[in-house]
Amino acid sequence: MKTIYDFSVKDADLKEISLKNYKDKILLIINVASHCGLTYQYEGIENIYKKYKEDGLEVLAFPCNQFAFQEPGTNEEIKKFCDIKYGVTFKIFNKINVNGSKSEPFYQFLKEQLPGVAGTTQIKWNFTKFLVNKNGEVIERFSPQAEAEEIEAGIKKLL
């Protein structure tokens, strides 16, 4: 069976990263945007990351400009924004598409593994979150509105 570890992605510096590097880690994978009403969630996500990174949590943030063009910046601008505004220390990756014919293959995999409401595989908005266990299996999908406390409860179940 295919797992998340069968994919490679590019980080914000366009360096190819094998997701095998995250084997035996709990992953929180999020499509993010800097100019969204939900951007404040960076703060709660960063707090969760700091709290559980020693226990094996990794946050993988993928900027996406597909929803109302709310992530127009370059990778460098996005990383700078995340650092200055929210003190983000988790990894920011290359800007990607999460829907459509040009969507990132590993995002297609995430959506197929755990469809959303009514079985739709489409990502509805910025800050949709996927929780992946230490075996690379997609365990939970959170809506864009899911707050840090709800996500934290899911992470605790996997520790």
- Could you list the active site residues? 36
Query: Is residue 136 within 8 Å of 25, Cβ to Cβ?
Result: no
Q: H or E segment at 105?
A: helix 105-113
Can you state the angle between helices 41-52 and 75-86, rounded to 10 degrees? 80
Q: What is the DSSP letter of 21?
A: G
Distance of alpha carbon 77 from alpha carbon 89, whole angstroms: 15
